[in-house]
Structure 1
């Protein structure tokens, strides 16, 4: 394990956010995924409100969500195989690339189930944006309390629109302490999981296969966990 590079989770997350294609633009995503199923008037309504408020059937939302999960799951698995074949490498680089796909699926699922734009207009990762991101990662990694905060945020966003409304919702004092605790636990949880996977990279080709399979399973499990939470607690 001597070749493992020590890392700070927040720094790795900051690197992941800056990868090309990580930031999903809400309007573009919704138009691309709903235009083949609905006419232009309906798609505009979906963009201006949300898929749920526009009256999209739950089965359609589920189908689109599953397609998004499958796509990101295959991409992260292929990436994991490639890095795994290299033997023991710097974990921060691998983790940053993995988190990039976690961020992508988080945004996609959030937009399907009624969330406003995740990143600010400038695309920056300010403190509130980081908390939103950590919350979604927390749900995917099974951090205790993360799904409860999602439920509370969804309630507070009900009937509201605007890019900044999500950040404003984070200041709700009733459950803000829990959000803070979730954010602290996410870094610890992800770091432990990342270090525990290093043994799969000792033997190049075998490590690539094991790493890809493990990433495919873990990513899919986490994405389904987030999907379930958002599906049960959509923004209405």
Structure 2
């Protein structure tokens, strides 16, 4: 097998695991439901509805509230992955993954949940099309970049920043499909997927989950420790929080950041 074929296979293995995890019950987060529940204790009803219709940034929600909500979501998801997985207890849930090892799909599912929650509270648009069971190419690409950031892949950070810039510039309510699937971001997506494929799945598919990397092996015991999942979630949070997309004042009729609102925090 040539090196190119090996890289392609690793990339394919990773994307297959991601797609399988995205189909597991409980993995996909409904953006509107999450934002309403997460902001209920912090915001007025008017702010919440605007956050749902546009974004938390457009609703002018202070960054300290955004960070508090993000930290709460991270703590919640961390508590779930450090205990017995809820996904494993859903009848028929892990049977959906087919040829992808159940432990890897379960582990990926936890990562996808926190990635979605952090994206939504930091003003990203809906990642999944309503009623569509299959994950579309743009969403798959975006999730690959998010996971890349969680693993500390530097080029993934650049890819996420570029997509965020496109969304902020156009004040868009959806991902830039072309850029993520055929355009300027796609080469970065492929590199990140290849890297993650080599790191996470090369040894896994050859010799089992336990021999892949420590955090995947930890799933076999039904838990992810605070020393693994938490830093990864925090890494994504820090990066998303640094982007202009999350700054209060970015709204559909005022695409530029309102300095007064930011400085008043």
Q: In the superposition, relative to structure 1, how do residues 38 and 18 fare at CA in structure 2: closer, same or farther (>3 Å)?
A: same
Q: Which residue of 2 aligns with 1:187?
A: 197
Runs of 4+ in 1 over 4 A off after TM superposition: 192-197, 207-214
Which of 132, 144, 159 in structure 2 is aligned with 1:134?
144
Q: Give the C-alpha shift of residue 183 in structure 1.
A: 2.3
Q: Give the C-alpha shift of residue 70 in structure 1.
A: 0.7
- What is the TM-score when the length of structure 2 is the normalising length? 0.71
In structure 2, the gaps of 5 or more residues are: 1-11, 89-98, 251-265
In structure 1, the gaps of 5 or more residues are: 1-6, 84-89, 201-206
Q: Which residue of 1 aligns with 2:96?
A: none
Q: Which residue of 1 aligns with 2:16?
A: 11
Which of 192, 215, 227 in structure 1 is aligned with 2:237?
227
Q: In the superposition, relative to structure 1, how do residues 193 and 54 fare at CA in structure 2: closer, same or farther (>3 Å)?
A: farther
Matched-pair contact (CA < 8 Å) for 2:103–2:220: no
Structure 1, residues 51-94: CA drift from partner, whole Å, max 9, x if none? 112111111111100111111111111137xx9xxxxxx99211
Matches within 5 A, 1:207-218: 215-218=225-228
Q: Which residue of 2 aligns with 1:103?
A: 112
Structure 1, residues 210-230: CA drift from partner, whole Å, max 9, x if none? 956754321111101100110
Matches within 5 A, 1:40-55: 40-55=45-60
Work out the number of aligned pairs and report it. Answer: 216
CA distance in 2, matches of 1:209, 1:22: 16
- What is the TM-score when the length of structure 1 is the normalising length? 0.79
CA distance in 1, matches of 2:112, 2:28: 8
Q: In the superposition, relative to structure 1, how do residues 214 and 23 fare at CA in structure 2: closer, same or farther (>3 Å)?
A: closer
Matched-pair contact (CA < 8 Å) for 1:144–1:182: no
CA distance in 2, matches of 1:209, 1:21: 17
Q: Which residue of 1 aligns with 2:161?
A: 151
Q: Give the C-alpha shift of residue 198 in structure 1.
A: 1.6
1:93 and 2:102 aligned: yes
CA distance in 2, matches of 1:143, 1:192: 17
Matched-pair contact (CA < 8 Å) for 1:149–1:178: yes
Q: Give the C-alpha shift of residue 14 in structure 1.
A: 2.3
CA distance in 2, matches of 1:141, 1:51: 26
Which of 119, 128, 148 in structure 1 is aligned with 2:128?
119
Q: In the superposition, relative to structure 1, how do residues 14 and 170 fare at CA in structure 2: closer, same or farther (>3 Å)?
A: closer
RMSD after superposition: 3.0
CA distance in 2, matches of 1:92, 1:196: 8
Matched-pair contact (CA < 8 Å) for 1:76–1:216: no
Q: In the superposition, relative to structure 1, how do residues 40 and 221 fare at CA in structure 2: closer, same or farther (>3 Å)?
A: same
